[in-house]
Amino acid sequence: MSTEDARVKFRTHLAAQGLRVTNQRIAIFDAAFGQKEHFTAEELLAHARAIDDSVSRATVYRTLPHLIGSGVLREVDIGKNLKYYLPNTDSSAQVAQVICVDCDKIFEISAPFMSWYGSTVSSKLGLTPVSQRLQVSAHCDSLKSAGVCKHRAAVSTQI
């Protein structure tokens, strides 16, 4: 999904909900899609303000649910009392996160077997899965030796 596709999706979602397309909401959208890495609400605020300095923290927090609800943004909670966000380039993919406990980077890894797990739970327990998350906290072997995580390229790794 391109940024332009996402923008249309977001505007359509707003319209469908009877919500207004304001400069602030668009600035927040643009700020989100200008990020390369996972970002926090506070970082999103800073980037949105660089685009439109009238954006307030409250509006960022009020807009995030709409971005997530429209499917253009994904929320990632890694258990740090702080949520991370990421443009959702493929909303149908099942992804796991690998969190480097040394450098705090978050890697997204395609994990299609998660759907299998969901349906297994479903059939065995009489549950209807809504969402799943699989996260691995790990030490980065190359970090200690090389001083940097060399796994940035692993983002699209499939397991």
Interacting residues toward a second copy by CB under 8 A: 77, 79, 81, 96, 98, 100-101, 107, 109, 111, 117-118, 120-122, 124-142, 150-151, 154, 157, 159
Shortest distance, CB of residue 135 to DNA, whole angstroms? 17
Nearer to DNA, 12 or 115 (CB): 12
- Going by the DSSP 8-state scheme, the letter that residue 158 receives in this structure is B
The letter for the amino acid at 55 is V
Nearer to DNA, 6 or 109 (CB): 6
Considering CB distances under 5 to 8 angstroms, the limit depending on partner class, which of DNA, a second copy, none binds residue 79? a second copy
Shortest distance, CB of residue 7 to DNA, whole angstroms? 14
Burial class of residue 22 (count of CB atoms within 10 Å of its CB; 0-12, 13-18, 19+): middle
Task: Tell me how far apart the alpha carbons of residues 141 and 137 are, in angstroms, rounded to a whole number.
Answer: 13
Shortest distance, CB of residue 155 to DNA, whole angstroms? 23
Q: Which two tokens stand for residue 40?
A: 């926090």
Shortest distance, CB of residue 28 to DNA, whole angstroms? 8
Contact 1, 90 (CB under 8 A): yes
Nearer to DNA, 57 or 139 (CB): 57
Contact 87, 6 (CB under 8 A): yes
